[in-house]
Each structure stands twice: as C-alpha cells, then as structure tokens.
C-alpha cells in the first residue's frame, strides 16, 4: 500500500452536522471538522484556542435569570447593562460602574423579551406588557429610567359612534372673562379701556374698543400664580375692519410687572381676513405671573381692533379638568374608561377645525376622566364628536424599535409608528414630509406579527413571523414620508423575536423556530434575500438560539448562547467565503452537565482596540447556583506567554512576586489552573478565596481560573482512491504532521478515533530549564497508535492555561486499494 499525505490546510467551515460526515463530494467537506469545541475557526484557515473568560462580578440576584445588554455611546464610551429582576446595573471595561443601580419594572420572566433601541445617551426599552421607558445616561455614574412620553400620538381610529366628549375647561391662561377683574385675574393696559377683557371672553363676535396703532394689553394671574405659556392664537374681527388687526407685536412675561422677558415676536403678519385665526407657538418652560401682548403696528387703520387673544396654559401648569363622555359606546369596546387608561393620550377635534391632544390623569367613572390639555387652548366648551383614543394600553404597548432616517420607529402587532423627523417624542400624524407616520403591515395576505424592525441601507427592515418586508420611500434614494412609501416583500424565512445583528455586509437573524440562523442580504434597492447560514452545522443552532451578539474585532464572529448552555460561535467573513461554526463550553458545572451555562451575551467596544464579549454564566459553586458576569478575553497572539489568558472565570495578578494570591472567593472550593510567570500549575484548590503555588514558589504575574480544554476531530478524508471513493474503506494512520503557531505543545495531545490512546506532542527544548513553558511555531510529527478500523480520523485536544493555534494538519495513512 502507498502512504497518503492528505493535507487539511483550512478549517473555515468549522464543525459540521453529523448528517454530513460522509458527504465527501461536497465542496466544503475538506474545510470542515466533525468536532470544533473551544477552538475558533480563523479567517486565515486555521483554528485557535479561544480566550478565557475574565471574572467581572456576581450579578445582584444569582438565583434569578439575568440578561446583559450593550449601551454604546461611542467606541470610547461603552457599557454593559445588567438587567435583572426589577433592577438595572451598569458595567464598563471589566468592572461595575460605582454603585449605579436603577430600579426597573421588568420582572425576571420578561427580561429576554425586552427590545431596545439606542441613540447617543438614551435607550428606549419596550415590551408589549410595559409602557415604553427611556434609560438616560447624564454622567458616567448618573443613570435614570423614566416613562417615555409620546407627544400627540399614535392613536386608534377616529370615533364613529354617537358618543361625544365635553370638556369642562379651555386649557387657557385666562378664564372666560366677564370684566377686567372677573372671574379671576386682572386685565389692564389697552389704554385703560374698560372693555379690554373682551379680548379674553372666548367670544369671537365681540371686541374691545380701539386704542391707537400701538399699545399693549396685560393679563395678571390671581394670587401671584406663575403659569407657563407655550403658544397662543389671535382672531381678527368678523366682517369688516380687518385692517385694524395687529401686524407686528411682541409677547412678554414678567414676575414683578417691571422686568419683562420676551417670549415671542412677529412681524409683517398682514393680509388678515374677517374672523381669521392664526396660531403661533414658541419654546418656553418658565412660568410668569404677568403676560403682556404689545402691538407695534396694524394693517393700516388708526386704531387696533381684534376679537380674541387666547394664550394656552401649558400642561405642566394645568390643574386636570373633567372630560365627560355622553356614553360608553366606542370607548374600550363599550366598557367605557378604565383605570388602566391613566396616562393614555386622547385627541380632540375642536370647533375651530384643529386637533388638540390631552393625556388622561385620572379616571373617575366609565364616562368621566380628568385630563391635561397639550398645545393650543380650546376655543369653546362644546361637545366634541370627533376624537381618537391613544393606541397604547396595557397588553398593547409597542414591542420593538429602531432608528431610521432621523425618525424613532416602534412596532406593535401589524403596525409601525415613526416619529416626526428629528423629533423623537412627537408621533402626531400629518401630511408634511417630516410629519410622523403610521404604517399597517399587510404581511403578504397573512396576519403575521412584527417581531423586530431594523435600519438598513435605504429601508426599514421589518421582521415578521412570516418573513421579512422592507419599508422605504417610493423612489430610489427617496425618503420615507407619509405620502411616499412602498412596502416590499422579500423571499425570506419567518423570524423569531430575537434582536438581529448587523454583520457589516449583511444582517444575521434567528428564524421563527429559534433553531436556525439566517443571513439577510440586500440584492437590490429595498429588496432582500435570505440564506440559512447554519444549515451545514444545523445541530448547533437546533439546541435553541437565545440571542445574538456580533464581534467584529479581532475576528468577525457571531456569538449565540443556546438553550443547552453552550455558547455557539460562527466565524463570518463572506467576502472570503469564510463561514464556520464552532461550539464553546465554558468551564464549570451546572444542572448536572460538565460545563457552565451561558445565559446571555452581548458585545461592546473594548479599551484594547478589540471588542469585548460579555457573558452571563451560570455555575454550581459549593452546591449553590451562581451567576457571574464575565468577559471573554481576546485570544492570544503575538505576545509574551505569561500574558496568555486561557482560564475561565479567571483573575489576573500583576505586582511583586508572591506565593499566594487572594480575591478568588467566587471559586471557593473549586480546582483551578494557574499560569504563573509562564509556568503551568494545574489542580490547585481555592481555599478562603486564596490560591497558593506549591513548594513555596512565587511569581509576579498570575492568571488564575477554571481549566478548560479545546478539542477538534477530523472527518474521514476521501483522497487517493484509484477506483473511486475511499470513504468507508479501511485505513490506518501512522503519524500526523501538524503545523503549529505560538502553541504550548506540553498541553497538546492526539489520538486515533478508535484506539483512544492519547499521544503527547513532543518538541525538543519546549520546556525551558526553569520549568517555564515556551511557544512553538513550525511543523511537528506525532506518531499515532491506530487500527485499520480507524477511518483515517483523529482527535486533537489541548488542555492547560496556555495558547494553541493549528494552521494545518496532515494525517499520514495507508488505505485499502
């Protein structure tokens, strides 16, 4: 028989499904492994032992599920948020941020259904069972979680029943005045006119006597009350003499009647018609006792004369007033107002043909609520027949969000709601290009819930349980507006309620069953296609994907915890045809399994130029379940061996040479490995939070943590057959040639898949005279004790707190002819 030397110089397809272990004719077969555990497939072709995990701290409530979420302001200001049962803690760069802890309403059972979208120092958090909230960072150690206030929308359909709503107040600065001093407050100036109050009598048919072409009118609140005014409207006289309407003016506020602050000014407001009303708004958050309207010019006559000046009383300055329904029809399915309607918006179409909006402050009965009015004051107190209730009520809150074209967008069931451009609080619908908009997802004839939305080039991508659609402007490179939109269906898989990730050239998302990961690629403007990227490694994702986290540096890897507690990895560089899955078992034990359970994962930029992979890891320590936050360290490359970090839940000590280190209380009673000044110590016990080197040895650099091994196994290679395939024929390996890079060979062993006898890799002078390990790069031959039934397959195992990289592997074997 002739010896065969089939080199395997690439492993970029990673660990493939057992269903494909005999498919030697497939193109990817020779770049695949049957096992790839705790090794990462590299874009260069080789496999490298993963980095260890550095211990950050124990979560607040170890007995309860915990989720880790990224909060990235910039590459230099990045945080990981610990979401637990009714609290949020903040971590950054391997440590907790001070004592920051924010009280939250989110219970343990809902943590992994929370959705979030972030912009700069704010993160909007949504869940169908909770009103949306916004988490704000105002300083490194100053964080707040507040209700998110939707301004004016979104709303249900306009009422189509006979039910009317009658307001008990106007929401204006002044009451309906009947004299200059009644019913409250004082009207003055205006040339001392006794009829100045008619400008505030809520009657557009009356007017005050003229007082020349310039002058002013002032209203002072009763009892020194300071009221915030944000807008107003001016109404001209009905009929003739509209040339007496002011054209230039200034509105001012004061708290002493002598020092005035300009709030708003207008010029050249000409061309008035009889009975016309014009509306004005301005920014102001300061309350004043006096408000003065000074007119400086009129349309051309000699005396000013107009019907009404109506200044609003901002909601922050209002006492809630009653809004009474004529019946319960059309309100909550005929049940009338409910206690859960507190905080709900309501839109009112007033007699002047303009919509106002209010917020319910209190429910007093099925037909009566107390409201605060926002925006312009009401012109009268007549019953309102056109009204709309706010869309969001308990159990029907928004479910996920995204930013798109300077809009904040949310989704719920079949609908997408997008804010005004550049105004993330305002969801008032309109017809202008920058107005808020609402889109009802048709779903291609199916009523499929929207489970996530995400921003992509030129489109808002909508993931539904039935597939993916794209919402965009109607033309190429055209902005999405209320009047310009198109909704395209893409031939894709149904989506799970798991946040997708942007992998640079494409999106990666979890399919509806949570048992596969798909890649979403843009094939043309606003049109996408999907491919199941994990099909050749389907056995990994089929354990149930929990969430996704994408790391771009040092290598492009998608990380995904699965329900078995393993951590899935997917090296993803499609431009180089690199797509390989690998599995990782974090050291420890949990629930009877010989590895710790990864519960959650996220990625943030790290301080050393690479991305930090944050993990929430469950272990059984001393018979008690512990949940630890850990960071998977960057894999070793181009460094000094004593700096290698290949232990889990580990700690680093650097300083004066010592024989004992402390601070390992989180591993009390566990057996750990230590790399001390480049020398390997295995099987040391943690007692009283301390670890000691044997025989009085000391070191200045320690890496201490739980040991783990990296394992790989090859497939049956199909090479050298003169009369067909060698798959299934008898083979026997005599030796293996490995090409290694920066590898501590003292921890490296190989064996045949049949014999089960491990062969150590021996390289001359790999251990220095002082007992320290050294790193080897180059080729090494390893003899293998194999059987003719071995099928030409081998297993590789690297154990210990040191690095290992395998560039190529060549099994030398004989086979049946």
* Predicted pLDDT at 726: 62
Query: Torsion angle of alpha carbons 619, 703, 548, 401, nearest 10°?
Result: 100
DSSP 607: T
pLDDT in tens, 343-370: 889 999 999 999 999 999 999 999 999 9
Asked if 100 and 121 count as a contact pair (C-beta separation under 8 A), the reply is no
The yes-or-no verdict on residue 240 having pLDDT over 80 is no
Average pLDDT in the 727-743 region? 84
Average pLDDT in the 745-750 region? 93
* Predicted pLDDT at 442: 54
For the chain, state the CA radius of gyration: 35
The yes-or-no verdict on residue 207 having pLDDT over 90 is no
H-only helix segments in 133-216: none
Average pLDDT in the 441-463 region? 78
Q: How confident is the model at residue 689 (pLDDT cuts 50, 70, 90)?
A: very high
pLDDT in tens, 569-621: 999 988 778 889 999 999 999 998 999 999 999 999 998 889 999 999 999 99
* Predicted pLDDT at 315: 94
Average pLDDT in the 312-328 region? 97
* Predicted pLDDT at 765: 54
Average pLDDT in the 626-650 region? 93
Average pLDDT in the 198-226 region? 89
The yes-or-no verdict on residue 778 having pLDDT over 60 is yes
* Predicted pLDDT at 722: 55
Whole-angstrom Cα distance, residue 634 to residue 242? 76
Average pLDDT in the 214-225 region? 94
Both structure tokens of 741: 């890079």
**Residue found by looking up tokens 């005050």 in the block:** 208
* Predicted pLDDT at 763: 81
Average pLDDT in the 385-404 region? 88
Number of Cα atoms under 13 Å in the Cβ half of residue 717: 24
DSSP states of 417-431:
EE-BTTBTTB--B-S
- CA distances 202 to 7, 294, 318, Å, are 92, 20, 18
* Predicted pLDDT at 161: 97
* Predicted pLDDT at 510: 94
The yes-or-no verdict on residue 279 having pLDDT over 80 is yes
* Predicted pLDDT at 615: 98
Instruction: Return the H-helix or E-strand segment holding 743.
Output: strand 731-743
Nearest to 217 by CA among 237, 239, 199: 199
Whole-angstrom Cα distance, residue 589 to residue 649? 12
Asked if 44 and 655 count as a contact pair (C-beta separation under 8 A), the reply is no
Q: How confident is the model at residue 788 (pLDDT cuts 50, 70, 90)?
A: confident
* Predicted pLDDT at 238: 86
* Predicted pLDDT at 523: 63
Asked if 420 and 150 count as a contact pair (C-beta separation under 8 A), the reply is no
Whole-angstrom Cα distance, residue 485 to residue 134? 28
DSSP states of 283-338:
----EESEEEEEEEEESSSSS---SEEEEB--GGGPPPEEEEES-STTSGGGT---
Q: How confident is the model at residue 721 (pLDDT cuts 50, 70, 90)?
A: low
Average pLDDT in the 287-314 region? 90
Average pLDDT in the 435-441 region? 82
Phi/psi of residue 643, nearest 5 degrees: -95, -5
Q: How confident is the model at residue 524 (pLDDT cuts 50, 70, 90)?
A: low
Average pLDDT in the 87-95 region? 96
Number of Cα atoms under 13 Å in the Cβ half of residue 13: 21
* Predicted pLDDT at 720: 52
The yes-or-no verdict on residue 52 having pLDDT over 90 is yes
- Mean of pLDDT over the chain: 90
Whole-angstrom Cα distance, residue 370 to residue 389? 14
**Residue found by looking up tokens 């300071």 in the block:** 226
Nearest to 152 by CA among 426, 414, 396, 352: 426
Min mean pLDDT across 289-303, 549-563, 750-764 is at 750-764
The yes-or-no verdict on residue 766 having pLDDT over 90 is no
Average pLDDT in the 66-91 region? 96
pLDDT in tens, 406-416: 999 999 888 88
Give the E-state strand segments of 577-623 in sequence order.
Answer: 578-584, 597-605, 611-621
Nearest to 638 by CA among 672, 614, 610: 610
Average pLDDT in the 240-269 region? 93
Asked if 414 and 441 count as a contact pair (C-beta separation under 8 A), the reply is yes
Whole-angstrom Cα distance, residue 88 to residue 574? 37
Whole-angstrom Cα distance, residue 218 to residue 290? 7
Give percent of the chain with pLDDT exceeding 90: 66
Q: Report helix, strand or coil for 665.
A: helix
* Predicted pLDDT at 473: 83
* Predicted pLDDT at 7: 77
The yes-or-no verdict on residue 724 having pLDDT over 60 is no
């Amino acid at each position: 028989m002739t010896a065969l030397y089939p080199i395997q110089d690439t492993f970029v397809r990673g660990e493939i499904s057992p269903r494909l272990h005999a498919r030697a004719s497939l193109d990817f077969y020779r770049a695949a492994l049957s096992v790839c555990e705790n090794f990462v497939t590299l874009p260069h072709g080789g496999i490298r032992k993963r980095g260890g995990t550095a211990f950050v701290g124990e979560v607040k409530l170890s007995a309860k599920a915990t989720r880790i979420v990224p909060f990235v302001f910039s590459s230099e200001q990045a945080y990981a948020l610990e979401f637990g049962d009714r609290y949020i803690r903040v971590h950054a760069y391997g440590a907790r941020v001070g004592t920051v802890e924010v009280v939250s309403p989110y219970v343990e059972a809902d943590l992994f259904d929370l959705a979030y979208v972030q912009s700069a120092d704010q993160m909007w958090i949504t869940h169908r069972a909770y009103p949306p909230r916004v988490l704000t960072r105002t300083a490194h150690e100053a964080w707040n979680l507040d209700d998110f206030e939707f301004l004016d929308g979104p709303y249900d359909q306009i009422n189509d029943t006979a039910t009317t709503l009658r307001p008990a107040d106007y929401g204006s600065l002044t009451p309906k005045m009947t004299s200059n001093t009644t019913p409250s407050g004082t009207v003055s100036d205006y040339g001392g006119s006794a009829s100045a109050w008619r400008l505030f009598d809520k009657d557009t048919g009356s007017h005050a006597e003229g007082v020349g072409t310039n002058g002013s009118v002032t209203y002072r609140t009763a009892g020194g009350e300071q009221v915030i005014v944000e807008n107003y409207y001016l109404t001209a006289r009905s009929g003739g003499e509209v040339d007496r309407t002011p054209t230039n003016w200034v509105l001012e506020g004061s708290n002493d009647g002598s020092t005035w602050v300009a709030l708003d000014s207008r010029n050249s407001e000409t061309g008035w018609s009889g009975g016309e009303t014009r509306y004005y708004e301005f920014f102001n958050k300061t309350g004043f006792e006096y408000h003065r309207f000074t007119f400086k010019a009129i349309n051309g006559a000699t005396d000013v004369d107009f019907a009404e000046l109506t200044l609003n009383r901002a909601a922050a300055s209002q006492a809630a007033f009653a809004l009474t329904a004529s019946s319960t029809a059309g309100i909550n399915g005929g049940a009338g107002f409910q206690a859960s309607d507190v905080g709900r918006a309501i839109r009112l179409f007033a007699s002047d043909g303009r919509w106002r909006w209010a917020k319910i402050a209190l429910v007093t009965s099925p037909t009566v609520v107390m409201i605060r009015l926002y925006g312009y004051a009401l012109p009268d107190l007549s019953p309102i027949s056109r009204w709309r209730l706010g869309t969001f009520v308990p159990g029907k809150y928004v479910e996920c969000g995204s930013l798109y074209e300077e809009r904040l967008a949310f989704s719920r069931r079949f609908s997408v709601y997008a804010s005004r451009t550049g105004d993330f609080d305002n969801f008032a619908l309109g017809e202008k290009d920058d107005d808020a908009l609402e889109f009802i997802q048709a779903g291609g004839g199916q009523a499929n819930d929207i489970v996530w939305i995400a921003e992509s080039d030129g489109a808002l991508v909508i993931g539904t349980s039935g597939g993916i659609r794209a919402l965009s402007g109607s033309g190429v490179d055209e902005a999405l507006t209320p009047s310009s939109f198109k909704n395209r269906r893409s031939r894709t898989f149904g989506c799970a309620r798991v946040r997708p990730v942007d992998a640079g050239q494409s999106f990666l998302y979890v399919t509806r069953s949570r048992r596969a990961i798909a890649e979403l690629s843009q094939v043309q403007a606003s049109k996408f296609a999907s491919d199941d990227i994990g099909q050749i490694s389907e056995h990994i994702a089929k354990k149930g994907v929990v969430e996704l986290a994408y790391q771009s540096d040092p290598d492009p890897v998608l990380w995904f915890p699965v329900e078995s507690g393993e951590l899935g990895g997917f090296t993803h560089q499609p431009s180089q045809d690199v797509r390989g899955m690998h599995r990782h078992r974090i050291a420890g034990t949990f629930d009877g399994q010989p590895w710790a359970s990864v519960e959650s994962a996220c990625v943030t930029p790290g301080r050393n130029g690479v991305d930090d992979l944050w993990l929430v890891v469950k272990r059984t320590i001393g018979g008690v379940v512990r949940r630890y936050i850990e960071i998977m360290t960057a894999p070793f490359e181009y460094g000094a061996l004593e700096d290698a970090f290949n232990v889990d839940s580990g700690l680093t000590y650097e300083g004066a040479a010592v024989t004992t280190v402390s601070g390992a209380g989180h591993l009390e009673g566990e057996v750990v490995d230590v790399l001390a000044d480049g020398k390997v110590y295995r099987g040391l016990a943690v007692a009283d939070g301390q670890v000691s080197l044997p025989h009085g040895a000391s070191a200045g650099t320690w890496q201490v943590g739980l040991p783990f091994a990296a394992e790989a196994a090859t497939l049956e290679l199909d090479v050298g057959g003169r009369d067909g395939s060698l798959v299934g024929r008898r083979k026997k390996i005599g030796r293996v040639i490995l090409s290694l890079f920066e590898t501590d060979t003292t921890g490296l062993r190989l064996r045949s898949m049949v014999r089960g006898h491990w062969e150590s890799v021996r390289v001359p002078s790999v251990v220095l005279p002082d007992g320290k390990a050294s790193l080897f790069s180059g080729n090494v031959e390893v003899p293998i004790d194999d059987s003719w039934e071995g099928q030409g397959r081998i297993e590789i195992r690297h154990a210990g707190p040191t690095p290992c990289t395998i560039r190529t592997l060549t099994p030398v074997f004989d086979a049946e002819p």
